[in-house]
């Protein structure tokens, strides 16, 4: 907390320079007028965008599961936790770009928005190239460390090496979308993903069914679709007058980079350690054999659709609270938080339980093997029923980052969700080595971490608005 409060003078400058102008047709005015409808208008395209991103991977898994066999299904599906582990540190930097751009946008500082845009794109390219090198060189060895089954590791390694060739495009899309979201635009990134998603599905079918390329085919299709989405985002920003990007002006502002890093690094570390705990869980799952791995991969992909629906409310809270904090709208911050929590509870509960109810039918899309379906159902019955707890936790993290706190939620998440999860595996799971016991670690740690985040937000909000010299005016 101490390191975060050192930036308060800089944040005050952002808050006091005035309000932004009226939004354009594809943007949302977050700091004036009714909130609930605008929250939904902002969140729904985010939900659909997240679902489309998952469809990239789902198309891979479904096609290889149906046309290349359970080994290929396990190979592609088992890479998710490792991909997240290697990418989340850099994806977290896009969260920093979103918060910084939203605060500048809310306070009307258009010159600093331009610096933020060009610094963000520069940073995305650096992050993408770093991920390409790391992924290609280390992914095979990391699969060995994860105890991937011998009959899966070869195909999984091939998939990962090709997948990471598309990392520069992944990073450019994520950073570019973060900038657009900061201005209230979630529709254009959705349109770009729709187009790229259609291309991905078509190429999957062609490469796997027609050319019989198997895992290589779905990996190449995914990379091509990622490049398309990145090009579309850059083209959008090049043509946009207000959120304009120019290759000639590409640079890295040290002041902006410092603000992005202050939010982004803790967010990235949190995501990375979360993924590390999931890698440990995946390693435990791998020890049960390829059928369990395949069932878990299919179930995790299905529950991912529920997660991205809830995660859209995290991003909504992050952006709306960031803009209102920049604009000095104190009371709207709490209203945004309450609305987002209410929506995420309803979404998580309804979609999570619907996934369980239709679980057998959904899992049969991924595999015709009865044992794979049964093992997938075990995971869904534990995790999906209580997924709303994860949503509550994430929205609180978004609220804290929106008002400038990123180290605090990182520490709480590392100790609560990650540390306790690893402790559970080392103790409770070791004593009762079943899949149910393993999956219970998620439920317990979500509940504890969400409760601590609520307490932390109350303390941080009180500090922000009662500390002398840092009172944000409310209009």
pLDDT, tens digit (0-9, with 9 covering 90-100), for 292-318: 888 888 888 888 889 989 999 999 999
Q: Is the pLDDT of residue 241 over 90?
A: no
- Asked if residue 427 is part of any domain, the answer here is yes
pLDDT at 22: 47
Query: Does 410 or 469 have the greater pLDDT score?
Result: 410
Residue 181, pLDDT above cutoff 80: yes
| CA within 13 Å, CB half, 90 | 29
Percentage of residues in the chain having pLDDT higher than 70: 91
Rounded mean pLDDT, 370-386: 90
pLDDT at 26 over 80: no
The whole-angstrom separation of Cα 314 and Cα 404 is 15
Q: What is the mean pLDDT of residues 45-64?
A: 76
SS3 20: coil
pLDDT at 214: 84
- CA distances to 35, 184, 285, 338, 453 from 326, rounded to whole Å, are 17, 14, 45, 19, 22
Residue 56 pLDDT level (bands cut at 50, 70, 90): low
Residue 330 structural domain: 2-464
| List of residues 6+ apart from 459 with CB closer than 8 A | none
Q: What is the mean pLDDT of residues 32-47?
A: 91
* Percent of the chain whose predicted confidence (pLDDT) is above 90: 43
Residues 6+ apart with CB under 8 A from 182: 97, 98, 99, 101, 102, 105, 319, 322, 323
51's CB contacts (< 8 A; 6+ apart) are 305, 308, 309
The reply to whether 471 falls in a domain is no
Span 424-434, pLDDT tens digits: 988 998 898 88
3-state class (DSSP) for residue 218: helix
Residue range 136-146: average pLDDT? 85
Q: What is the pLDDT of residues 130-140, one digit of tens each?
A: 999 998 998 88
Q: Per-residue confidence at 237, pLDDT binned at 50, 70, 90?
A: very high
> What span, in angstroms and rounded, lies between the C-alpha atoms of 133 and 302?
30
Structure tokens at 465: 């608005």
**pLDDT (mean) for 391-410:** 92
Per-residue confidence (pLDDT) for residue 321, from 0 to 100: 94
Q: Is residue 473 domain-resident?
A: no
The least confident of 97-101, 138-142, 305-309, 381-385 is 138-142
Determine contact, residues 352/380, Cβ cutoff 8 Å: no
Estimate to the nearest angstrom the gap between the alpha carbon of 420 and the chain centroid.
22
| Alpha helical stretches, state H, 164-253 | 167-182, 187-205, 214-239
Angstrom distances, CA of residue 461 to CA of 8, 237, 337:
13, 34, 12
Locate all alpha helices (DSSP H) within 414-434, ordered by sequence: 420-426, 428-431
Comparing CA positions, the residue from 270, 247, 271, 276 lying closest to residue 125 is 247
Q: Tell me: pLDDT of 128 over 90.
A: yes
Angle (nearest 5°) at CA 267 between 19 and 410: 110
Prediction pTM value = 0.75
Judged against a pLDDT cut of 90, whether residue 120 lies above it is answered with: yes
Return the residue matching tokens 């090198």. Answer: 133
The CA–CA distances, whole Å, from 335 to 217, 314, 332, 341, 361 equal: 47, 14, 5, 10, 39
Indicate whether 379 pLDDT > 50: yes
**Whether pLDDT at 475 is above 50:** no
- The number of distinct structural domains making up the chain is 1
Per DSSP, the residues of 406-474 read -HHHHHHHIIIIIIHHHHHHHTHHHHS-SHHHHHHHHHHHHHHHHHHHHHHHHHHHHHHHHSTT-PPP-
Whole-number pLDDT of residue 200:
87
Q: What separation in angstroms does the CA of 238 have from each of 102, 229, 250, 396?
A: 19, 14, 12, 34
* Mean pLDDT, rounded, of the chain: 85
- Distance in angstroms (rounded) separating the CA atoms of residues 85 and 277: 9
Q: Does residue 365 register a pLDDT over 80?
A: yes
Q: Is residue 239 part of a domain?
A: yes
Residue 15 pLDDT: 44
Is 252 domain-assigned? yes
421 in Cβ contact with 442 (< 8 Å): yes
Q: Taking 70 as the threshold, does the pLDDT of residue 412 lie above it?
A: yes
Task: Note the pLDDT of residue 17.
Answer: 44
Query: How far is residue 116's CA from residue 112's CA, in Å, rounded to a whole number?
Result: 6
Domain assignment present for 270: yes
């Amino acid at each position: 907390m101490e390191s975060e409060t050192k930036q308060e003078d800089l944040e005050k400058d952002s808050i006091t320079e005035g309000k932004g102008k009226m939004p354009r047709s594809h943007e949302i005015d977050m700091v004036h007028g009714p909130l609930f409808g605008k929250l939904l208008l902002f969140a729904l395209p985010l939900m659909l965008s997240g679902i489309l991103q998952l469809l990239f991977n789902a198309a891979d898994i479904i096609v290889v599961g149906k046309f290349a066999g359970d080994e290929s299904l396990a190979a592609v599906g088992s890479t998710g936790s490792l991909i997240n582990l290697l990418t989340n540190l850099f994806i977290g930097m896009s969260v920093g770009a979103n918060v910084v751009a939203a605060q500048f946008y809310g306070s009307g500082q258009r010159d600093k928005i331009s610096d933020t845009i060009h610094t963000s794109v520069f940073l995305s390219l650096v992050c993408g190239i770093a991920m390409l090198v790391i992924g290609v060189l280390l992914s095979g060895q990391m699969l060995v460390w994860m105890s991937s089954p011998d009959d899966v590791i070869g195909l999984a390694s091939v998939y990962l090496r090709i997948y990471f060739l598309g990392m520069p495009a992944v990073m450019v899309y994520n950073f570019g979308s973060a900038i657009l979201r900061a201005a209230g635009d979630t529709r254009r990134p959705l349109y770009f993903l729709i187009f790229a998603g259609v291309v991905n599905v078509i190429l999957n079918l062609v490469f796997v069914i027609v050319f019989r390329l198997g895992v290589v085919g779905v990996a190449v299709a995914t990379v091509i679709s990622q490049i398309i989405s990145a090009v579309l985002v850059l083209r959008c920003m090049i043509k946009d007058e207000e959120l304009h990007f120019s290759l000639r002006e590409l640079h890295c502002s040290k002041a902006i980079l410092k603000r992005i890093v202050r939010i982004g690094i803790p967010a990235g570390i949190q995501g990375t350690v979360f993924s590390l705990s999931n890698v440990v869980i995946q390693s435990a799952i791998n020890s049960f054999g390829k059928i369990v791995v395949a069932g878990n991969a299919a179930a995790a992909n299905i529950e991912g659709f529920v997660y991205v629906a809830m995660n859209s409310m995290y991003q909504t809270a992050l952006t709306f609270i960031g803009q209102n904090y920049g604009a000095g709208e104190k009371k709207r911050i709490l209203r945004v938080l309450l609305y987002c929590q209410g929506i995420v509870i309803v979404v998580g509960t309804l979609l999570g339980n619907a996934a369980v109810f239709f679980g057998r039918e959904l899992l049969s899309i991924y595999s015709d093997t009865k044992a794979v379906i049964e093992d997938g159902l075990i995971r869904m019955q534990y995790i999906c029923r209580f997924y709303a707890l994860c949503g509550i936790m994430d929205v609180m993290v978004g609220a804290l980052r929106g008002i400038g706190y990123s180290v605090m939620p990182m520490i709480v998440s590392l100790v609560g969700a990650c540390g306790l999860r690893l402790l559970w595996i080392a103790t409770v799971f070791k004593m009762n080595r079943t899949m149910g016991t393993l999956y219970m670690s998620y439920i317990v740690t979500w509940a504890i971490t969400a409760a601590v985040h609520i307490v932390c937000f109350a303390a941080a909000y009180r500090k922000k608005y009662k500390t002398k010299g840092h009172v944000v005016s409310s209009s």
